[in-house]
Amino acid sequence: MYSLLIARYGEISIKGKNRSDFEKKLVENMQRAVKEFDKVKITRIGGRVVIHLNGTDFRQVVDKLRWVPGIVSMSPVITVEQNLDKIKQAAVDLLNKVVQTPIRFKVEARRADKRFPLTSPELTKELGAHILRNVPDLKVDVHNPELTFTCEIREEAAYLYVEVIPGPGGLPIGTSGKAMLLLSGGIDSPVAGWMTMKRGLEIEAIHFHSYPFTSDRARKKVEDLAKKLAGLSGRVRLHVVHFTEIQKAIRQHCPEELSITVMRRFMLRIADRLAHSRKALALVTGESLGQVASQTLESMYVINHVTNIPILRPLVAMDKVDIIRIAKELETYEISILPYEDCCTIFMPKSPRTRPRLEETEKAERNLDIEALVQEAIDKTESVIYYKEMETGRTE
């Protein structure tokens, strides 16, 4: 029934002279998302993106596009030539198929092509009267409709649709640069990754693995989370850092109550190095203020002190219940709650310091060969790229 999908975007439209670059990136990302459908073609027309279905089921295409950042909404569309009688008949045919029970409705008509003989209000009135006479179970309600029938008169055709499917909004991935996501096996960090991808960031992930203290199943859990993020973004490169020797050294030489603070400082040192080598300009963490010992303001201050690279914390002011809701929408929640602990939890002291001081933390680190430990961990780092729909990654 539907020949097209139209995709709408929001912020891109106010990007001035850069708007074309944002539109091109959005179309590239959409084409990557639907590349399995050979017949689907995507073009830009008048501030929108038009997806030509060419016989492909629109539901399958919508399912692939619904997580593409930059898309605000989509509508499956019937096209008909600019002829009032044909528009009326197509409107009745469409509504007779979608209206199954009594429903309140209204008509919205827009005349983008001013050559069409009726104005927008005149077309709205004509179509509304015709639809009411020919489609049962409809009642006009212009203030609180359950269904809105829209007719857009455009230069190439008249577009008819009744459905508006929400997209994620935001900006196309790749328009805001690249950042490194510290990806644990928990609930928060995949959500943080998605939140920054929605703002146009390309993400690479870093995971700190402490085998044999943490199991292969814990690593598999993180790999599955990376695959989920790749399904949203097209691809994700995962760097697995072998953290065991660092944790053993911290355990042996540092006060137990400061071990989490020192561990997080090592993570940032390593992430900083990897970010520079991968030309990333920021780190992303899933930290939420006050959630655990390392996420107090005092802890963040001390931990941040080892790097000058910007650290983005998109969840910092969010409640846990809201983070869980997004994780469930992303389908990462069920993976994150699997009972395989990561290095952050396996060495958790009984009484971690919630308000560490910089001086005491730096003193605690004096017995550690920081540079040697960091370099050894980087040298042993493994990198894997996960692509959308891949079951296994490609090891580098």
182 labeled part of a ligand binding site? yes
Report the distance separating Cα 134 and Cα 136, nearest Å.
7
What are the phi and psi torsion angles at 87 (to 5°)? -65, -45
186 labeled part of a ligand binding site? no
Report the distance separating Cα 6 and Cα 272, nearest Å.
41
276 labeled part of a ligand binding site? no
286 labeled part of a ligand binding site? yes
What the block records as the tokens of 226 is 């990376």
Report the distance separating Cα 241 and Cα 270, nearest Å.
9
183 labeled part of a ligand binding site? yes
291 labeled part of a ligand binding site? no
Residue 84: strand, helix, or coil: helix
Query: Which has the closest alpha carbon to 125: 137, 108, 138, 113?
Result: 108
**Residue 170: CB atoms within 10 Å:** 25
Query: Which has the closest alpha carbon to 61: 30, 85, 102, 103?
Result: 30
95 labeled part of a ligand binding site? no
- The annotated binding site for ATP is made up of 182-183, 207-208, 264, 286, 295
- The annotated binding site is made up of 182-183, 207-208, 264, 286, 295
